[in-house]
Amino acid sequence: MPTTYLEAIREGLWEEMERDPNVFLIGEDIGVYGGAFKVTAGFLEKFGEKRVVDTPISESAIVGASIGAALMGLRAVAEMQFSDFISCAFDQIVNFAAKCRYRWNAPVPIVIRAPSGGGIHGGPFHSQNPEMWFVRTPGLKVVAPATAYDAKGLIKSAVRANDPVLFFEHKGLYRRIREDLPAGEYTVPLGKAKVARQGRDLSIITYGAMVWTAIEAAETLAREGIEVEVLDLRTLSPLDRDAVCGTARKTAKVLLLHEDTQTGGLAGELAATLTERVWEHLDGPIVRVTAPDTPIPFSPPLEEAFLPSAQKVVEKARWLHKY
């Protein structure tokens, strides 16, 4: 039976808790209630209250307690009920967790799960994509899976990592994406992109839910004879720059796509990398499709206009292909 994106994360966490008694979960309503999205339903009954810790509504306390536990040899998986509220723990993440390795070579093996993204009509406080706050912070790993296979494999790798990992889970994928997963043990390495769709005429580089938007656009363009390659970054930090440059060399035209707002988004860093490393291989300008520089609207029609869509990607890709 195909496994949902949500269930894949759940399976990965369950397997890691069975494998390593030092792994524990901490967050708001993750125990008795089973989590806001039910990722941790049943964990309290299986692993007990010492390994599934319900907390007050205090993201700073959740992350601070996770850091302290990690410094004492445990491995914490902290849940932010919505990624928007991760800002309440910003100081703990960027000034403590991210810098312990640099300061005194102390590993801080924590994972911060952050349900993110729009398309659920959650408005400006429950639909943000705050990944770039952390991509630019040395000492942090940032992960954003698009598929159920990668969600499970990457959460397991994140739990095993000895440095802090921000794990962004797109809420719109939780129950929409399904696939058959291997029966045996597997992990997906951090820091490695993958080609989600092969193509020769143009590359779309993206991550998270936008991988599926890119694939939808690519299928439309294929009917017009334009074969698009889709590169799924999977990990945003460390960034697989070799894969980014590889697809650009192959197709010579690049469209950068993300759900985050444009200014300061990952597309700017990707464009700089491509300009520095493969400029001579490009046959057209690097173009971006992103959300505009506004808060995400609550109104469904406005949210639809705000979010990048397959149609927007198709229109931009057609222009680039003809360039």
Cβ distance 53 to 26 under 8 Å?
yes
Q: Which of 126, 170, 258, 321 is catalytic?
A: 126
* E strand segments, the chain: 3-4, 23-27, 52-54, 75-79, 110-116, 141-143, 165-170, 178-179, 194-197, 202-206, 228-232, 235-237, 254-261, 287-291
Give exposure, 85-98, as e/b (b: 16+ Cβ within 10 Å): bbebbbebbbebbb
Provide CB contacts within 8 A for 307, sequence distance 6+. Answer: 118, 119, 259, 291, 296
Q: Identify which of 46, 149, 133 has the alpha carbon closest to the alpha carbon of residue 93.
A: 133
Q: How far is CA 288 from CA 42, 102, 232, 263, in A?
A: 42, 34, 16, 11
Structure tokens, 234? 């999977």
Q: Is 126 one of the catalytic residues? A: yes
Q: How far apart are CA 271 and CA 244, in angstroms?
A: 10
Amino acid 241 reads: R
Closest CA to 198 of 229, 175, 169, 223: 229
219-225 LR contacts (CB < 8 Å, sep 24+): 220/310, 220/314, 221/314, 221/317, 221/318, 221/321, 224/318
> Among all residues, which ones are annotated catalytic?
126
